[in-house]
Amino acid sequence: MQTKTYAGIPEDLAKLDKAKIVLIPVPYDGTSTWQKGADKGPEAFLDASANMELYDIETGTEVYHQGVHLVDAVTENSSPEAMVEAVHQVTKKYIKRNKFVTIFGGEHSVSIGTVRAFNEMYPSLTVLQLDAHADLRKSYEGSTCNHACAMYEASQNTNLIQVGIRSMDVMEKTVMDEEKTYFAHEMAVDDTWMDAAIDQMTENVFITIDLDVFDPSIMPSTGTPEPGGLLWYETMEFLKQVFEEKNVVGFDIVELCPNKIDKSSDFLAAKLYYKMLSYKFQNEEAEEEYDNSFDDEKVNKNNNTKFQDEDAY
């Protein structure tokens, strides 16, 4: 990672003690089974972000003033299990610093670590998955930390809601909660799905977005593009509503598989990340001094965390 700051923002807004937001890149592509290249996704995302206008027209905000600290990339790749544990520990470290933690992968196995960290930190967690694939296999190709298993642990330990699904193995039906699964072909003819999904969420929500949830017509650069996906404005409408009605505690974005010919996918990923931050912080003023000390009472009150350990970092 050669980028000094996220989106080229001023260095004073990128310092850890100043920033409300932390961005963790995870350039990992150890278990994908078709097109390789998701490990190049974070770099392509950061390059596109540096060429993006930073005024959000819809919210009328410049969310980068909240401060975004770009963490050193998690480069552990000795095994899928080691990568997941490294992501888990780094993610939890920055949640404990009272930051709004975001992660950009990498393939979707990255999310096993992020979900694990957030589930340890927040009570009654909903995981909102936007994805073309169910990713509910208990194990695949000899590992429980394969990208095809990305949501299995979440299905067992959190309130998992799956949106945009249009590809799965028949065995995944034995794990899937179909009442909380929104299949793309049904969403296409049902305009009530957004409200229905939000009604099923608890107060604390972690969002994981596999970019192949989008239709390949607007997001071709993924490892396994599936026809019949979501389009931009319906996705933004849904995400905006989630941020308005629930306490979104963090998010990750995965599976950008960049190619040299098409740069629009890189830019969509960059814009998506920035829009989500804009929705999260649109009603907050930037603070001159951000209190980033870990305080059990303050965090329990404001962020509904269940983490009580006082480990120092």
Task: Note the pLDDT tens digit of each residue in 190-202.
Answer: 999 999 999 999 9
∠ CA 267-269-273, rounded to 5°:
115
Note the pTM of the prediction, 2 decimals: 0.91
> Of 157, 126, 122, which Cα lies nearest the Cα of 308?
122
> In 112-124, which positions are buried (b, 16+ CB within 10 angstroms) versus exposed (e)?
bbbbbbbbbbbee
Task: Note the pLDDT tens digit of each residue in 238-281.
Answer: 999 999 999 999 999 999 999 988 899 999 999 999 999 999 99
Task: Note the pLDDT tens digit of each residue in 285-302.
Answer: 765 455 555 444 434 434
Would you state the pLDDT for residue 311? 47
Q: How many CB atoms lie within 10 A of CB 55?
A: 11
Question: What's the mean pLDDT in 93-111?
Answer: 96
Question: What's the mean pLDDT in 11-15?
Answer: 97
> Of 135, 142, 139, 92, which Cα lies nearest the Cα of 113?
92
How many angstroms separate the first and last alpha carbons of the chain? 23
88 against 284, higher pLDDT? 88
Class of domain 6-302: alpha beta
Domain boundaries, the chain: 6-302
Question: What's the mean pLDDT in 69-86?
Answer: 95
Tokens of 302: 């404001």
Would you state the pLDDT for residue 42? 97
Would you state the pLDDT for residue 29? 87
